[in-house]
Amino acid sequence: MKKKIKQALISVSDKSNLKSILRILNKYKIKIISSGGTYKEIKKLGYHCKEVSEFTKSPEILGGRIKTLHPKIYGGILSIRNNKIHQRDMMKNKFEEIDLVIVNFYPFENTLAKTQNHKIIVENIDIGGPTMVRAAAKNYRDTTVITSTNQYENLIIELEKNKGSTNLEYREKLSEEAFSTTAYYDSVISNYLNTKTNNIFPKKKIFHGNLIQTLRYGENPHQKAAIYSTKKELGILQLHGKKLSYNNYNDIFSALNISKTLPKNFGTVIVKHANPCGVSINKNKVGSYKEALACDPISAFGGIVSCNFKINKEVAIELSKIFLEVVIGIRFEKEALKILKKKKNLRIIDASNLKLHKMNNIISNFNSLLVQNSDNKIFSKKDFKVVSIKKPNQKTFNNLIFAFNVCRNVKSNAIVLAKDKATIGIGSGQPSRLDSCKIAIEKMNKFQKIKDDDEIIAASDAFFPFVDGIETLVQEGVRAVIQPYGSIKDKEIIKFANQTETILVFSKTRHFKH
């Protein structure tokens, strides 16, 4: 069902590409109504336009807060053209039909990024724009609604193809997009106000997201998938390689969760199937990568490497020696990029703009959402308590904090063995903590050459419920252990540590990752 457009209302905050729309409306002799800055811009571009206040015979009031909120505007947008009662009311009130509404909103999201001034933020909550859009979207059988400059090109094509008219199917699609636009806009406002009042879990939680990319498939080929972001971009930039998959993104996020908590410009993380298989914060970049790789070189094959520093030529040469799915860096030197790009399918990611601040983790199953804030606090000594007779020196304490930081990013039950701020064995995802200990030890014995004077330390993401776990570690040469407190067996664990002259440090918080 085609609808001839005779009159359009234009009220846009983003006035870019307006000329292209005015040109096509003029071609098909479509009358234009507008207000405020848009009216001035249209006149400036040399096109005839009637101001809203002239159209409604009602002036703008309240400093411009009320411009388009008038029965003549909404009658023109909402009237059903083949409804006799509607048409009678339109004639009685001398209202004119409005067939096309072109509106984009006050830049509320951009305002949030620029200022924390609440008064300015509130003034950038659009009222008339979303109201007109909702009205036009509801009446899509008769009214065409445009909410973004990105839709201008298709509108021009549609009007050209239909000689000044639009098809029902096209209007219905625009209606769907319009309601998504108003819902998104309101959700940004809602979440801002929740944040301002520190209402973390309101009775009605509104989630919004921008489509970043549709993916080839989900975890498996029969599953459809896409990635959305609450921002307009993810903060990571792909520089080269095949399109990222669902599993790639999952691994990338796991890697970045660790590397972004490492000291600035130091550290390498290797991840496979969302679990770290090697981490090091050696200040030497090549040394850092080699130490991370040495933790489990077999698992690293086909994995993801995240470097918390600018990747140089020397590191790139080492990275290119094995098969990797993704390499992440905080920028890349030109020579490094040249070397890495020789691998056609290698995905190269620049994460220099990513900020892990005030982020939430969301898991969805069975039409429900589990929401929690991220576990990415930067640890310090005050977060821990030494409970053994034997005390750690500064170097040992720093190694323990390093291992514990890695451990909280390993799927529970998790055990991490480390020395000199590099992991040497990781046991992950076991129902039994004792089994995780045995896996970490097995990895260490398989890939490491341990000397008698090496100080091996261990981290556990939760308390040891029995002595057998810590006993197994100490028997393999572990000299210091860090774990959360809270077990009814804590006293027995402390007693064992003192009997074996093992350093024992308790964390004040538990750090499961399921």
CA–CA separation, 513 vs 258, rounded Å? 13
Question: Is 163 exposed, middle or buried (CB count within 10 Å of its CB: 0-12, 13-18, 19+)?
Answer: exposed
| Residue 506, helix vs strand vs coil | strand
Task: Give the pair of three-digit tokens for residue 420.
Answer: 């000199």
* 138 flagged as catalytic: yes
CA–CA separation, 255 vs 11, rounded Å? 45
Considering 50, 173, 273, 489, which one is annotated as catalytic?
Answer: 273
CA–CA separation, 49 vs 36, rounded Å? 12
Q: Give me the residues paired with residue 214 across strands.
A: 226
Tell me the CA distances in angstroms from 362 to 212, 214, 298, 357, 374, one per residue in order. 17, 19, 31, 15, 10
- Positive or negative, the Cα torsion across 146, 149, 155, 160? positive
Specify the DSSP element, H or E, that contains 482.
Answer: strand 478-484
Q: Are 317 and 339 in contact (CB under 8 A)?
A: yes
Considering 138, 205, 242, 310, which one is annotated as catalytic?
Answer: 138
Name the phi and psi angles at 363, rounded to 5.
-120, 135
CA–CA separation, 194 vs 203, rounded Å? 11
Q: Are 230 and 208 in contact (CB under 8 A)?
A: yes
CA–CA separation, 101 vs 32, rounded Å? 10
**How remote is the C-alpha of 308 from its chain's centroid?**
19
| HEC sequence for 134-157 | HHHHHCCCCCEEECCHHHHHHHHH
Cis peptide before 117 (omega within 30 of 0): no
Q: Are 143 and 188 in contact (CB under 8 A)?
A: no
Q: Are 34 and 51 in contact (CB under 8 A)?
A: yes
CA–CA separation, 294 vs 313, rounded Å? 20
- Residue 479 CB-half CA count within 13 A: 14
Q: Which residue type is seen at 210?
A: N
Q: Helices (DSSP H) in 242-312: which residue ranges?
A: 246-259, 285-295, 297-300
Q: Are 121 and 108 in contact (CB under 8 A)?
A: yes
Query: What residues are labeled active site?
Result: 138, 273
